[in-house]
Structure formats: structure tokens, C-alpha cells
Amino acid sequence: MPRKGVNVVEPLRGPAGSVRTPVSAKSTLESIETAAAILASSPIHQTPVLTSESLSTLAPIGTTLLFKAENLQKGGAFKIRGATYALSKLSRSELDKGVVTHSSGNHAQALAIAAKAKGAKAYIVMPETSAVIKKNATEGYGAQVILSPPLAEDRERVCQEVRQRTGAYFIPPYDHYDIITGQGTVVLEMIRQAKELDKPLDALVVQVGGGGLLAGSSIVAKAHGIPIYAAEPELADDCFRGFESGKRIERVVTSTIADGLRTPVGTRNFEIILEKVEGVITVSERQIVTAQKLVWERMKMVIEPSAAVGVAVVLFSEKWKSLGIKGNIGVVWSGGNVDLDAPMPWTVIKE
Amino acid sequence: MPRKGVNVVEPLRGPAGSVRTPVSAKSTLESIETAAAILASSPIHQTPVLTSESLSTLAPIGTTLLFKAENLQKGGAFKIRGATYALSKLSRSELDKGVVTHSSGNHAQALAIAAKAKGAKAYIVMPETSAVIKKNATEGYGAQVILSPPLAEDRERVCQEVRQRTGAYFIPPYDHYDIITGQGTVVLEMIRQAKELDKPLDALVVQVGGGGLLAGSSIVAKAHGIPIYAAEPELADDCFRGFESGKRIERVVTSTIADGLRTPVGTRNFEIILEKVEGVITVSERQIVTAQKLVWERMKMVIEPSAAVGVAVVLFSEKWKSLGIKGNIGVVWSGGNVDLDAPMPWTVIKE
């Protein structure tokens, strides 16, 4: 079932020391709590936690589902958290040189928005195969988009050129402790909100692509004694295979509909995940789009396919069911950025 | 631009006395406040009031938009309010005979849900041209669906037969004081919520089809000194024309994409609207679907075309702009029931 937009994604490589990123401490519960305090005084939203009787009854008996609605976050995804926190670590003179990243997705928009809020220039390297709508959206947030050929080495070279020309700092999409720390605030917030709703979480299910969100979430979850499971598309199951073998898979070739998850898990991310996560559960393309449609239909919320992967696990996975986990299950909706002019994903994916 | 599903809708006629509905007092602010208290102890949701910087900046300068999210209501629309209140007026023995209505839309599902909550049987007469998905949804709520030929006189005859056979009460979709009273609770709630958000309403824009929601809303708005405007599709502008001439238009032939508004204003409704509403503003099909898409895209909320008519007025109407109304403008999203397997409305309506 190959489709247009097949991505070959590898971690950014290059000569040692060629990647200038701000020095950052390893992610911990404490650093995530600090990040949450910093984000609280930024324009980032505290997104709501939503429940749905209708969806909960479709999950295994004894389940109450809670959804963290990061689709309602600024920029339409959780990515703004990591970007904003990473930028908060830069000095004024560093900010004045600007920031650079490569992304065709939510991280691009997030960095553009976060940089604008700090009065910093953002350079976004995008594959020239990116949809015009994404390029326009990123430029709409004030960033400068630089197109590159789609291969990882070309992208890297272009990124490098921008860095050399401008002195901009490289803020990678996921394989960076400040990004991991920033994304960890999603679940920190959710755990508190669930308690306030009198539905303290018994387990968490968080999707994994590069692993920024999952790694940050797992640090918080483990520290709170809440078991956390990863959700991944079968078609991009590098985290699952890496987790089973204990060795990170470095390359992913995939056309999963969950376009935010078409990346291999990062090195820093994988190390954390291996230590903190209970297991990785995969779901089919059909399960992903069926879950996505159910959320639109029953909850009237627009979520993107990547955001539906965790929902698909708790609704449809036999493996999840066999674990027999009951109670208040937290699922993160990672984003809501969908091309509304394209056919809806559930009308495209047939089995 | 005729499409499938053109509706010819007339008010239910018949020999005098043939329509058995519970006796009900005229709608007043007091009756609406009483209804709100009754609904508060029912399973009906208090839906949130949402704001959007992004949409507000598209409206005339000086506007802050507030949206009442009745798409998140039980059954996906405000209709459950009127149905629940109307049923609350029936005695146990009356409930035991059941209730009947004709509707292929949100009122059908609403009455089915409200009846189930009361342990009453609901008979829903639907045109045999209705989408299977709607029939299934209504049956899914436990109602008995009876198909009739699509003409008003056939539908009426079938309704009559059900009443004679079962003794069921007729709960019409809009032309009934208890329905008007129940729907009025939407705006009563919104006025309070807007104050709590420290954004007291300066004006209201509410769409009109049969006029249940608009009539109820206008009673509350007028009593609170808040000017209220009606929003209507150009293609179904019976309220606009009736309002201008002071004489109700009794028949509507329309294929507007806003399928919840394909009805003429009811008699009781029109009388109230003429007295309480400041003006009626119409919008084009293209304006409706553009507004709908903007809400999906920017706010990540699924609303149906009918719910976007008020949004279209405040974003795109020159007439609205010329009124120069500023401040906190309340708009009601009436519902979020969309066939997600069909092409999205904004991909269908071209201008």
C-alpha cells in the first residue's frame, strides 16, 4: 500500500561537533517541573483533559478514557512545548543569531511560533516535496523556509549551510534533552488535571515517532508510579523492534498515514524509553483511521492520524486487552493538523 | 446549484384538534429559567463557551468572538434541550404511551435520547429518502423509525396513524412553546458563562431554521438587554423575507448545505422573532462552508454547516460589518453532526 510522500528518515549525522546545539542537562522530573513553570508564563495553552463515555464503552470493560487535547495547543500540536523550552535556555545574543531546524511537520510550525514569541529568526529546512500548505503555514508564522532535496544527507547539508552562514542554533525535532524535557510537561499537566477531575490515572498510552513526547512522558509517569505504554503504527514499528531487542533501529522507511511518526526513535530518546516504558504496542493503519474517525464523530474533535494511534491501542489492540489494565487510562492527542481539502484518511485506507 | 436531498418542508397541517400536544404556556424568561433548572438535573451537558483569537482577528475590528459549543451536546446538537424539557411536562401515564415526531435530523436523535432517558418509547417518522446512517443512528438510541414518502402530507398521515394506533404524544421539532422554552436555555447558559469569563456579551448571532433556538434565545437576550440578530442561508431566506414584510413565509424549497435550516419558521416562533430580534442577515453557501472549514482548521472542532451560518455572518457579511457592532459577540454552534464519509462540504460548494 505505498502512497505518495514515502519518507526515508535518518537521524541528522555529520562530522563530530558539527551540530551546534545549546548545552543541556539530562531530562529529569525536576527539569520537567522547571520547564512547566517556565511554560506557564509563556503564551502556551494549558490544554483540557476530556472524557467520553461513548469511547470508554468501546474500550475493554472497566476503562475510563481520558484524553489530553494537545490538538488545541498553539500551532495545533504539543511540539510548541519543547521548542519554547529549548529557546528559553538561549541568551539574547544567541537568540539574535536565530534558530534552525529541519522538519516538514508540526515541529517546523512550533519552532516558528516559539521563535517569533522570543523575537528570534527561525530558519526551517523542509524537503522540496513538502505540501505547499505546510510551507505557507510555516512562513505564515514568520519563519524563513529553505527547501532541500528530500534525502537526509541533503537536508543535513542545507541545515549546516544555514548554521555556518547565520550562526543559528540547531534545535532538533526530538533527539535533544531540552526538547524531551519540554514535551514531558504534557503528561505532568495531565496527571494533575486527572486528579482534579477525581480520575487519577492508572496507566498512560503515548504514541512514539522520534520519541520526544514519549521519553519526556515516561520520565514523569515512572516518577509518579504510573505505568506507561508506547503506541506505534505497525508500518513504522522501529521502536517496537528496538525495544524487543534492546538495540535502537536507526532507519525507518515507511508510508504510515500517521505522518508525524515516520521517524526512527532518537538516541537520547531510546535510552530513556528502554528504561521507563513498560511495553510498545503496534496498531494497523485501519485501526488508526478508525480510531481517528471515532474521535471526530463522537467527540467532535479534529485530531490528526498520529494523535489517533494511542486511541487505536486502547480501543482495538488485542495485546492491550490481554494486559488487563483497568481504571483511568490517559491517552495523549498529540495534534490536530490535517489537510482538510484532502480526502479524509478513513476514506483512503481500506483493508 | 440543485443537489440531491432538496427538501420541500411545510408545517404539519391537518384537521383541527388532530395534533395532540401537551398543553404548554407561552415561553417567557421565567419559563426558560425553570427549564434550565429542570435540565440541570438531567443528563444534558453544560457545553463550554470557547474563544478564538485567530477567528476574532478575521471578524470586524474590535470583535471578540465567543462560541457556545452545542456540537458537544448529547446527541451532537442543542435539540436535546427542547425535547427533554417537553418530556418533563408529561405525566408517567402519558410517557407510557410514548412520543412521536417527524424529523430526519437532529430533532429525531434528540427525541430518541430524551425519551430513552425517561423510559418512554419514541416513534420517529422519517422520509424514506433519509440517509441510512441517520436511520441507524436514531434506532441506535432505541427509537422506532417509521419511514414515509417524502411529501409533507404523507409524513403527516403516517404521524397521525402512529398517534391513533399508540396514543403517543406529538412533539414537533420547533413550533411548540415547550420546545422554544427548552432551546432558550442555550443562550441563558451562554450569557452567564460569558460573564464568568469576564467577557459579558454585547450582541448575539443565532441561526434560524424552524426558529426554536432563535425564538427561545431572543426571549432571553431581549430580557437581558442584549441585541440579537438572526443568521440564515440566502438559499433558505424565508425568515429574512418574512421579517422584512412582517408576514410569515409558509413554505420553503431549498437545497442549502445547511440541512438543519431547510424549514420555514414556525408560527409561534415567527411571532416571537418579529418582536424580539433586531434583524435577519443572510449568507451565501460559499460563506457558510468557508466559515465551517475555518472552525475545523483553527479551532479543531467539528461543526455542521448549519452551525457555521452564524460564524459566516460575523466573519463575512457586509451587512453585519456595516452595523458596526463591537465587543464580545456570542455565536451559537448548533450542532456537529456531519457525515464524515461524504466529501467535506467546502470541497463540494464552489462559487
pLDDT bucket at A185, cuts 50 / 70 / 90: very high
Q: Is residue B191 part of a domain?
A: yes
Contact B300 A302 (CB under 8 A): yes
Position A62: which residue type? G
Catalytic residue from among B27, B56, B68, B79: B79
Query: Out of A52, A104, A218, A306, which one is annotated catalytic?
Result: A104
Q: What is the pLDDT of residues A260-298, one digit of tens each?
A: 999 999 999 999 999 999 999 999 999 999 999 999 999
Cell reading at B215: 425564538
Whole-number Å distance between alpha carbons of B179 and B177: 5
In DSSP terms, which residues pair with B231 in a beta bridge? B207, B281
In tens digits, chain B (351 residues) has pLDDT values of: 333 333 333 333 333 334 444 567 899 999 999 999 999 999 899 999 999 999 999 999 999 999 999 999 999 999 999 999 999 999 999 999 999 999 878 999 999 999 999 999 999 999 888 878 788 889 999 999 999 987 878 888 999 999 999 999 999 999 999 999 999 999 999 999 999 999 999 999 999 999 999 999 999 999 999 999 999 999 999 999 999 999 999 988 888 999 999 989 999 999 999 999 999 999 999 999 999 999 999 999 999 999 999 999 999 999 999 999 999 999 999 999 999 999 999 999 976
Interface of A with B (CB under 8 A): 71-72, 76, 293, 296-297, 299-303, 336, 340-341, 343-344, 346-347
Q: Which residues contact A34 (CB under 8 A, 6 or more apart)?
A: none
* Pair A241, A275 in one domain: yes
Residues A105 and A51 in one domain: no
> DSSP of B175-242, one letter per residue?
SSHHHHHHHTHHHHHHHHHHHHTT---SEEEEE-SSSHHHHHHHHHHHHTT--EEEEEEGGGTHHHHH
The reported pLDDT for the residue numbered B129 is: 81
- Partner-chain contact A302 B301, CB within 8 Å: yes
Domain identity same for B229 and B342: yes
A300 with B300: Cβ contact below 8 A: no
Among B91, B88, B89, B87, which Cα is nearest to B101's? B87
> Looking at residue B291, which CATH number applies to its domain?
3.40.50.1100
Looking at this predicted complex, what is its ipTM? 0.89
Residue of A nearest to B302 (CA): A300
- Taking CB atoms and an 8 Å cutoff, what residues of chain A touch B297? 302, 340
d(CA B174, CA B321): 30
Query: Would the CB atoms of B300 and A346 count as touching at under 8 Å?
Result: no
Closest CA to B302 of B340, B347, B330: B340
Cα A23 from chain centroid (whole Å): 22
Q: DSSP secondary-structure letter at A43?
A: S
Task: For residues B302 and A71, give the distance between their C-alpha atoms in angstroms, rounded to a whole number.
Answer: 13
Which of B49, B67, B68, B300 to mutate to test binding with chain A, by most A CBs within 10 Å of its CB? Answer: B300
The residues pairing with A71 across neighbouring beta strands, listed in sequence order, are none
Active-site choice (B27, B104, B148, B317): B104
CA A98 to CA A20: how far, in whole Å?
Answer: 12
pLDDT digits (tens, 9 = 90+) for A83-126: 999 999 999 999 999 999 998 789 999 999 999 999 999 999 99
Range A65-69 average pLDDT: 98
> Which residues make Cβ contacts (< 8 Å) with residue B125, sequence separation at least 6?
B100, B101, B102, B103, B146, B147, B148, B155, B158, B159, B162
**Structural domain contains residue A3:** no
Read off the pLDDT of each residue in A35-43 and give the average, rounded to a whole number: 94
The pLDDT, as a whole number, for residue B104 is 77
B178 to chain A, minimum CA–CA distance in Å?
Answer: 28
Phi, then psi, of B85 in degrees rounded to 5: -65, -45
**Count of Cβ atoms closer than 10 Å to residue A267 Cβ:** 12
- Do A300 and A164 lie in a common domain? no
A15 occurs within a structural domain: no
Last residue of a domain, one of B127, B153, B174: B174
Neighbours of B27 (CB within 10 A): 27
Contact assignment for B347 to A341 by CB distance below 8 Å: yes
Residues A151, B94: Cα–Cα separation, whole Å: 72
| Claim to verify: residue B207 and residue B311 sit in the same structural domain | yes
Confidence of residue A12 (pLDDT cuts 50, 70, 90): very low
Three cell numbers written together for A138: 510555516
The answer to whether residue B9 sits within a structural domain is no
Q: Does the distance separating the beta carbons of A303 and B302 come in below 8 Å? A: no
The last residue of a domain, from among B123, B142, B174: B174
Torsion on CA atoms A269, A330, A73, A266, rounded to nearest 10: 10
CA dihedral B57, A303, A207, A169 (to 10 degrees): -30
Which tens digit of pLDDT belongs to each residue from A194-213? Answer: 999 999 999 999 999 999 99
| pLDDT over threshold 50, residue A13 | no
Parallel, antiparallel, or unpaired: how do β-strands A279-283 and A228-233 relate? parallel
Decide if A11 is inside a domain: no
A-chain CB neighbours of B299 within 8 Å are 72
Regarding whether A192 and A231 lie in a shared domain, the answer is yes
> CA of A281, closest CA in chain B: separation in Å?
27
User: Distance, in angstroms, between A228 CA and closest chain B CA?
Assistant: 27
Same domain, A158 and A279: no
Task: Check whether A66 has a pLDDT greater than 50.
Answer: yes
pLDDT the model gives residue B23: 60
Partner residues linked to A9 by β-bridges: A252
pLDDT value for B16: 36
pLDDT at res. A23: 60
Specify the higher pLDDT residue, A11 or B202: B202
What pLDDT sits at residue B130?
80
Grid look-up 434583524 returns B279
Phi-psi region of B224 (alpha: psi -120 to 50; beta: other; left: phi over 0): alpha
Residue B69's SS3 state is strand
% of chain A residues with pLDDT over 70: 93
| pLDDT at position B351 | 66
CA dihedral sign, ordered A198, A203, A209, A210: positive
Residues A128 and A252 in one domain: no
Q: A261: number of CA atoms within 13 Å, CB side?
A: 33
Residue A239 pLDDT > 50, yes or no? yes
Burial (CB count within 10 angstroms: exposed 0-12, middle 13-18, buried 19+), residue A223: middle
Contact list, A302 vs chain B (CB under 8 Å)? 296-297, 300-302
The set of cell numbers assigned to A155 is: 537536508
Query: Is residue B8, in this structure, part of any structural domain at all?
Result: no
pLDDT band at A10 (very low <50, low <70, confident <90, very high): very low
In angstroms, the CA B176 to CA B163 distance is 17
Q: Are residues A110 and A214 in the same domain?
A: no
Cα A119 to Cα A76, A98, A239, distances in angstroms: 21, 9, 36
In this predicted structure, the answer to whether residue A17 has a pLDDT above a threshold of 50 is: no
Using alpha carbons, select from B35, B15, B38 the residue that is nearest to residue B27: B35
In this complex, do B293 and A347 lie within 8 Å of one another by their Cβ atoms? no
CA–CA gap between residue A2 and residue B285 (Å, rounded):
37
Residue type, B304: E
A209 lies in the same domain as A236: yes
Q: How does pLDDT run across A125-179, given as a tens digit for each residue?
A: 998 888 787 888 899 999 999 999 878 788 889 999 999 999 999 999 999 999 9
CB nearest to A296's CB, from B293, B340, B346: B340
Residues of chain A contacting residue B301, judged by C-beta atoms under 8 Å apart: 300-302
Q: Residue B129: which domain range?
A: 79-174
- Burial of A182 by CB count in 10 Å (0-12 exposed, 13-18 middle, 19+ buried)? buried
Confirm whether B104 is a catalytic residue: yes
How many helices (H) and strands (E) chain B has is answered by: 16, 12
Task: Out of B72, B341, B347, name the one closest to residue A300 (CB).
Answer: B72
Angle between helices A185-196 and A29-40 (to 10 degrees): 80
The confidence score (pLDDT) of residue A198 equals: 98
Q: Identify the residue among A73, A297, A300 best suited for mutation to test binding to B, counting B beta carbons within 10 A and taking the highest.
A: A300
Residues B307 and B334 sit within 8 Å (Cβ to Cβ): yes
Report the distance separating Cα B212 and Cα B182, nearest Å. 9
Q: Where is the domain boundary, B121, B147, B174?
A: B174
A72, A297, A343: residue with CB nearest B300: A72
Q: Do B300 and A71 touch (CB under 8 A)?
A: yes
Task: Tally the domains of chain A.
Answer: 2
pLDDT on residue A265: 96
Active site residue A79: yes
Do residue A150 and residue A287 come from a single domain? no
Same domain? B169 vs B87? yes
Q: Is residue A314 part of a domain?
A: yes
Determine whether the interchain pair A346/B340 forms a contact, defined as Cβ–Cβ distance below 8 Å: yes
Residue carrying the nine cell digits 522530573: A29
Q: Evaluate whether residue B107 is within a structural domain.
A: yes
Instruction: State how far residue B102 is from chain A, nearest Cα, in angstroms.
Output: 24
